[in-house]
Amino acid sequence: MTGEDVEAFERCIAAGGVAVFPADTVYGLATDPESEEGVRRIYALKGRPAERPSAVMFFSLADALAALPELGPRARAACEALLPGGVTLLLPNPRRRWPLACGPAPERLGLRVPDLDGPLAPLATVRRPVLQTSANPSGGADARRLADVDPAIRAGADVVLDAGELPGTPSTVVDLTAFEARGDHAILREGAVPAAKIAARLREVAG
């Protein structure tokens, strides 16, 4: 993947287009999180129910934390302990940011910051957030390689980026909505990062 690829990705997102792109886990779909048309297209391509939330992805932890100044100190410390990496954090969203990503629960936000090493490193220059979800039909297998992405999804995207073979295991989903108040967390889906590793890191943060 080249700098030109990333520039095409950024232009696509800025215009509310839809991109297939590699994350640190599996291939995903991305659009501007404030583009109703882009979000509608992604959900249509996947056959995803409209009421199911997606996540907002930033390509650096600093950008993510700067965009969420309302996070409490404990939640912020949890983000710093777990990100970047193969996790999706479910966080309180009192300002109801990016409602198109939140589905029927705008007071909660899914946050992703991928670990951009090796072939993914050029993506670290992306400064804008994206709404993202996995690049597979709803309920279908996750795509480890670009060739594994459903041809209809590839054909329906405006930009397609290829970074070779990815690990292939989706992110672990961690509910941190009660972490600020009580230090509690819940694993909603165990994936790329083991639940025990997450618990150990959060114990250090919670004290």
28-83 residue pLDDT tens: 999 999 999 999 999 999 999 989 999 999 999 999 999 999 999 999 999 999 99
Q: Average model confidence (pLDDT) for the chain?
A: 97
What's the rounded Cα separation, in Å, for the pair 136 and 9? 19
Q: Say whether pLDDT at 113 is over 80.
A: yes
145: β partners: none
Distance CA 59, CA 24 (A): 11
pLDDT of residue 1: 87
Cα angle at 84 between 187 and 30, to 5 degrees? 85
* Sign of CA pseudo-dihedral 33, 39, 43, 45: negative
Residues 20/9, Cβ–Cβ less than 8 Å: no
Q: Tell me the per-residue pLDDT of 114-156, one tens digit each, with 9 for 90 and over.
A: 999 999 999 999 999 999 999 999 999 999 999 999 999 999 9
pTM over cut 0.75: yes
Domains of the chain: 3-206 (3.90.870.10)
Give the 3-state secondary structure of residue 130. strand
Checking if the pLDDT of 207 tops 90, the result is no
pLDDT score at 206 = 82
